[in-house]
Structure 1
Amino acid sequence: MIYLLAFRRGLSGFRLIIVGIAVSAILSSVNTWFSVKAELGLAVQVAVWGAGSLAGVEWPVVVAALAVAVPLLLLMPTVGRRLRQLELGDDAAASLGLAVERSKVLVVVAGVALTAVVTAVAGPVAFIALAAPPIAARLTGRTGSSDLLGAALVGSLLLAGADLIAQHAVPGATLPVGAVTVCIGGGYLVWLLFRESGRS
């Protein structure tokens, strides 16, 4: 839906972001309305899921998610090749014979589908996708689509580490992993801001 609303004789990254923010705000208000109308027990479950939590994720859920995710992961080499060409710019990619708009649709659909699978299992765990690529780039010296695997591995390690902290940070209680990643991600963003202001 966001892709279609943002499409105007091609897809602009800025327009996609603005439309995405607008649609996200609308859907957040719908989620809030559902939470207010729901029974108390269900509303609490929704709140925990909304914070992002690995607590209570059972093997049948993981197996079902893998059944969807594995075929999508098999697409990643194709998506990675197209991403590398798209990084050159639309005109350069088209001159190399790439179907630019179809490739963008493939990239968006694959990304949304993989994100949906993970979100369905663990909820919207914040900041992992923001922090993992730059950390992977620093570790490997590779950037952009050339290091999708590195970013995925760093992201999984960050999530596992955050879950470990969530389980043991407060004695006798298990925090939602999303609460930990928000704290880590917020600190990371503050560090980035200080670093950039120091450069300028």
Structure 2
Amino acid sequence: MRSPHLISGRRYPLLAALLLAAVPVLLVAAVTYGAVDLPAADVWRVITAHLTTGRPPADVSGIDNEIIWNSRAPRTVLALIAGAGLAVAGAVLQTVVRNPLADPYVLGITSGASLAAVAVITLGSVAGLGVSGAAFAGACATLALVLALGSRRGALTPTRLVLAGVALSYLLQGATSYLQLRAQPDQLAGILFWLLGSVAGARWSDLTAPAVIVVACTGWLLSQARRLNALLLGDETAAALGIPVHRFRLVLLAVAALLTAAVIAVAGGIAFVGLIVPHAVRLLVGPDHRRTLPLIAMTGGLFLVAADLAARTLSPPLELPLGILTATLGTPFFLWLLRRETAVA
């Protein structure tokens, strides 16, 4: 009987090594190509010089150094971080609620962050919060409300969580649309950023907080991989194995919200990554979180870097919103994987 997933255990190290090797290659390609293509050798030298000496190489022009180090490099690294964070958050949410459709959008977390950000753009700051701070607070507040609505007699019910999240997401999207109608013409570009997502304009100073949060949360989730696997077997089985299911589910939801909020606060509302990437990886290697989580993080990061590169190069000088590209690039690939998986099963 053939394996239900496409990559056997013996091939898993090879797949992991290929994805890891693809990270620096795709990062350099994303910095090299754009509205103005630059020599890949210059890109390598500028990045290496900044990382080793903190200064640009003397034989590279100031304009090229500005494009490489201060414009394209930070946005490319942010895309890698954001893609990894959203993909891991989606994987956790799908496990927690045992629903393949769960992701930060379905549970309303992204909609809450977008509403808070758009509210600050159109109505002004509240309690001294800037746009990014408001987005972070909105994501956390939305999760708290979903948890309150999705619990029954003090216990979280996966189905109620999903239904509460979907209903709340529609409500928040409606409020966001209302604020968009009230917006001034000069505010629409900023609103579009929060609705569809973008890593344009990223600065190195924007990367520290999301990078630390994504790495720390992903590392902690890897340490909890066996418990995550137990949740897949059902609450009763997990409880029989000594896992405090209710408390563990709350912690996982908080971690997923933290990952999502950290990314949305700097990259806007990027859809589809948290839904499609975990599924694609599971179709390849199976459901074991010890195997899937590292690949989900790498695949999500690579996917969003590729989407950002396509957004900058497909229709120059127009830069397409990331949300459009993530759906356009991801759906055919996922449908192909799903067809292959059906044929193998």
TM range (shorter): 0.7 to 0.9
- The answer on 1:145 being equivalent to 2:145 is no
Greater relative CO, 1 or 2 (CA 8 Å, sep 6+):
2
TM-score (norm 2): 0.52
Q: CA deviation at 1:65?
A: 2.5
- Name the SS for the 1:72 alignment partner: helix
Q: Could you tell me how far apart the structure 1 residues matched to 2:246 and 2:296 are?
A: 25
Equivalent residues in 2 for 1:47-62, closer than 5 Å: 47-62=192-207
- Name the SS for the 2:202 alignment partner: coil
- The answer on 1:35 being equivalent to 2:180 is yes
Q: Deviations over 1:122-167 (max 9, x none)?
A: 112121122212322344x232533111111111111111111111
Partner of 1:107: 252
- The answer on 1:98 being equivalent to 2:252 is no
Q: In the superposition, relative to structure 1, how do residues 189 and 72 fare at CA in structure 2: closer, same or farther (>3 Å)?
A: closer
Q: Could you tell me how far apart the structure 2 residues matched to 1:41 and 1:23 are?
A: 29
Q: In the superposition, relative to structure 1, how do residues 88 and 194 fare at CA in structure 2: closer, same or farther (>3 Å)?
A: closer
Matched length: 198
Partner of 2:7: none
Contact 1:54 1:176 in 2 (8 A): no
Q: Could you tell me how far apart the structure 1 residues matched to 2:330 and 2:147 are?
A: 27
Contact 2:222 2:289 in 1 (8 A): no
- Name the SS for the 2:152 alignment partner: coil
Equivalent residues in 2 for 1:17-96, closer than 5 Å: 17-96=162-241
Q: Could you tell me how far apart the structure 1 residues matched to 2:252 and 2:324 are?
A: 29
Question: Which structure 2 segments of 5+ residues have no match?
Answer: 1-144
Q: Could you tell me how far apart the structure 2 residues matched to 1:58 and 1:104 are?
A: 35
Report % sequence identity: 33
Partner of 1:3: 147
Q: Deviations over 1:57-113 (max 9, x none)?
A: 211111232344444344223443321221121111111111110000011110111
Q: CA deviation at 1:189?
A: 5.9
Structure 1 window deviating more from structure 2 (83-92 vs 39-48): it is 39-48
Equivalent residues in 2 for 1:161-200, closer than 5 Å: 161-188=306-333, 191=336
Q: CA deviation at 1:40?
A: 2.0
Q: CA deviation at 1:190?
A: 5.5
Q: In the superposition, relative to structure 1, how do residues 16 and 51 fare at CA in structure 2: closer, same or farther (>3 Å)?
A: same
Structure 1 window deviating more from structure 2 (98-107 vs 167-176): it is 167-176
- Name the SS for the 1:103 alignment partner: helix
Structure with bigger gyration radius: 2
Q: In the superposition, relative to structure 1, how do residues 11 and 32 fare at CA in structure 2: closer, same or farther (>3 Å)?
A: same
Q: Could you tell me how far apart the structure 2 residues matched to 1:16 and 1:195 are?
A: 31
TM-score (norm 1): 0.86
Q: In the superposition, relative to structure 1, how do residues 12 and 195 fare at CA in structure 2: closer, same or farther (>3 Å)?
A: farther
Partner of 2:267: 122
Q: Could you tell me how far apart the structure 2 residues matched to 1:48 and 1:168 are?
A: 18
Q: In the superposition, relative to structure 1, how do residues 197 and 100 fare at CA in structure 2: closer, same or farther (>3 Å)?
A: closer
Contact 1:2 1:20 in 2 (8 A): yes
Q: CA deviation at 1:43?
A: 2.5
The one-letter code sitting in structure 2 at the alignment partner of 1:173 is: L
